[in-house]
Amino acid sequence: MTVAVIGTVAFDSIETPRGNHDRILGGSGTYASVAASLFAPVHLISIVGQDFPDSHIAFLEARGIRTNGITRAQGQTFHWKGYYTADMNQAHTVQTDLNVLLEFDPLVPPKAQTADIVFLGNIDPALQRRALAQFVDPKLVVLDSMNYWIQDHLASLKETLKHVDLLILNDQEIRLLTGIDNVVQAIPVVQAMGPGRVIVKKGEHGALMAGPKGLVSFPALPLRDLVDPTGAGDSFAGAIVGVLATSDLQDESSYVKALITGILVASATVQAFSLGRLEQLDQGAISTLFSSYKAHIPIPDTI
């Protein structure tokens, strides 16, 4: 099956305790599409400015990501500048230059309109709906969002959620969306808004997933070396939709495999700036990560 990703393509200027880099390739659409491309053909729908180098486009195309849905507008590419302190849990924004993102109006190319899985990355919920309306009966609609849209555009986000099959948020966002502190209690409230399936990201603590057959919980891969957390959540989501594109979207076990793969891919992403580690992943590397993951969770048959 094919995947369409709607999201941002950005330049990131990032400082972490492990170094700093200016204007490196980033953006939710970039991370998600590169992660998804490990498993399935991907269409990326986004917008960049005149300053966006052809070499980045060529890099995406070489990975099997169709880029004719990336509008090249007059002006500068979206630029985010931020830093992380030692705990690496929280991104601190120094400067956000929305630039061409201000005029982003997703235009889904004809060949992308029949994508089987649509991933609506973290943008204005109204734009997410406008993008979604251009697809012909997708089999699975997946959505990411963030605290800004939950706080300031809640009605619009709720309207979008009615059309979503799988919602991916972090634990703070789930609490914000529902006003419920206990995530296990909050999940059914979110499901009542539309998404039959919900994945709750918990960073270094792993992830929960609630679907029609109940709740599962997986730890993260314990990491000694964290270089740059940027893109962890986007590559997590991208890997999930990529793996799901290789499944029948029915078996619960497919969703579990997708979730674990998301955890492993995210753990690779944070071990380098930009796409440095993510772009090197292949099935062999993911299998090796999975062997390590299983070894970290030696659940016995009985206790």
- Binding residues for a copy of itself (CB under 8 A): 86-88, 181-185, 202, 204-206, 208, 214-220, 222-224, 226, 243, 253, 256-257, 260-261, 264, 286-287, 290, 294-300, 302-303
Tally of CA atoms within 13 A in the half-sphere of 15 that contains its CB: 8
CB of 84 to a copy of itself, least distance (A): 11
11 or 218: CB nearest a copy of itself: 218
Q: With CA atoms as reference, report the closest residue to 9 among 98, 110, 93.
A: 98
168's tokens: 């991916």
CB of 166 to a copy of itself, least distance (A): 18
21 or 257: CB nearest a copy of itself: 257
What residues are paired with 13 via a beta bridge? 81
Query: Rounded distance, CA 248 to CA 258, Å?
Result: 12
| Residue type (1 letter), 39 | F
47 or 207: CB nearest a copy of itself: 207
CB of 228 to a copy of itself, least distance (A): 14
CB of 205 to a copy of itself, least distance (A): 4
128-to-67, 158, 163, 164, 299 alpha-carbon distances in Å:
18, 12, 10, 10, 41
Q: Report angle CA 270, 277, 259 to the nearest 5 degrees.
A: 60
73 or 208: CB nearest a copy of itself: 208
CB of 296 to a copy of itself, least distance (A): 5
On whether the CB atoms of residues 64 and 48 are closer than 8 A, the answer is no
Query: Rounded distance, CA 279 to CA 264, Å?
Result: 14
H/E element, 12: strand 10-16
32 or 289: CB nearest a copy of itself: 289
141 or 259: CB nearest a copy of itself: 259
CB of 192 to a copy of itself, least distance (A): 15
> Phi and psi (nearest 5°) for 222?
-60, 130
